[in-house]
Amino acid sequence: MSEVNRRIVLAARPHGAPKETDFRLVESPVPTAGEGQVLCRTIYLSIDPYMRGRMNEEPSYAAPVGIGQPMVGGTVGQVVNSGLPGYAPGDFVLGHGGWQDYWVADGGALRRLDPATAPISTALGMLGMPGLTAYTGLLEIGRPLPGETLVVAAAAGAVGAVVGQIARIKGCRAVGVAGTPPKCDYVVNELGFDACIDHRAPDFRRALRAACPDGIDIYFENVGGAVFEAVLELLNDFARVPVCGLIAQYNATEPPPGPNLVPKLMRRVLVKRLTVRGFIVFDFHDREPDFLRDVGGWLREGRIKYKEDVVAGLKNAPKALIGLLQGRNFGKLLVRVADDPTR
């Protein structure tokens, strides 16, 4: 056990894309767990798009990270010592420890993990927040019907990959959008989507149209920007647009130039009777048991697959987040902070 707790804190609020100098690694004493608390050592840190929003001053649906405070994040770790009945050293847990080696948690902030059921890292991906986001956004808002066409961007990413695979299980045609030809190949050949279009290809709009011969009934929005504009042309009457993220615009410092397309969007909403609905995974927390049963089951049955992009070393977390915002990861992005004893 190392004697210091390395933490990565927010050094400066980024203007536009974050830089490595917006973060700082500091060392502090390892905290101790009081009564009713558990001290955990981080094994995996999840890197997710929402973290960019936390670096801004203005509050979003959650408070910003303060300057000098550790970056927030979901973590999988192992109990070091416990003042809480039911938790023993060596237990694996999911928590919200942030970008650091050690964290202290109350029992309510932990979920126990059984490495015999699924790899512990999946609690940050397929069986964690990204998976629950995909499951609830698709099923509660997208409401897929057999024979419908779903489109999801960042289709090789943590959320998009799950969205498309569940849509297939529900009988939909699943069309992905991704940022490189190898990602598109993976989405079709490994994940089983019906098609996947490279949004960087010059004929993107035409290719998307060709991949959706019956139009689009559900667009699971997690990127925004040009993909949304292309999709809008193809949405069918009564299409649903769950809005879970807008990664393409998180680094923007000012609105894009005109014309202002809000009137066009609203006219499309009216004429096509679209439902555009934002959601955040916490809104559907009560669906977590169903989610774990369904997605856990599909995973064990081999009906859905996942891919992890694991970066070694806490110190590389800033670079990992910077790359995520540029679409450089391939699969669910994790930082391995300490060795995973289950592998």
What residue ranges bind its own copies (CB under 8 A)? 60-61, 221, 224-225, 228-229, 237, 243-246, 249, 252, 254-267, 269-280, 283
Which residue blocks in 158-285 are alpha helix, DSSP H? 160-169, 181-189, 204-211, 226-232, 262-271
The distance of closest approach from Cβ of residue 152 to its own copies in the complex, given in angstroms and rounded to an integer, is 16
Question: How far is 129 from 140, CA to CA, in rounded Å?
Answer: 16
Residue 17 and residue 327 in contact, taking contact as beta carbons nearer than 8 Å:
no
Nearer to its own copies, 18 or 97 (CB): 18
What sign for the dihedral angle of Cα 162, 46, 98, 69? negative
Beta carbon nearer to its own copies, 116 or 262: 262
SS3 assignment, position 284:
helix
- Which residue, among 149, 137, 119, has the nearest Cα to 308 in the 3D structure? 119
Are the C-beta atoms of residues 117 and 298 closer than 8 Å to each other?
A: no
Query: Would you say 223 or 314 has its CB closer to its own copies?
Result: 223
When the beta carbons of 1 and 262 are compared against its own copies, the nearer one is 262
- The least CB distance from residue 136 to its own copies, in Å, is 12
In the complex, minimum distance from the CB of residue 204 to its own copies, in angstroms, rounded to a whole number:
18
Determine contact, residues 91/78, Cβ cutoff 8 Å.
Answer: yes
Q: Are 56 and 62 in contact (CB under 8 A)?
A: no
**Residue 217 CB, nearest approach to its own copies (Å):** 15
Q: Give me the least distance between CB of 140 and its own copies, in Å please.
A: 12
CB of 60 to its own copies, least distance (A): 5
Q: How far apart are CA 127 and CA 119, in angstroms?
A: 10
**Which residues does residue 335 pair with via DSSP β-bridges, in sequence order?**
45, 311
Distance in angstroms (rounded) separating the CA atoms of residues 307 and 157? 8
Containing H/E element for 52? helix 50-54
Of residues 213 and 258, the one with the C-beta less far from its own copies: 258
Q: How far is the CB of 266 from its own copies (least distance, A)?
A: 6
Q: Nearer to its own copies by C-beta: 169 or 246?
A: 246
Please name which of 54, 61, 60 lies closest in space to residue 98, comparing C-alpha atoms.
Answer: 54
Nearer to its own copies, 116 or 253 (CB): 253
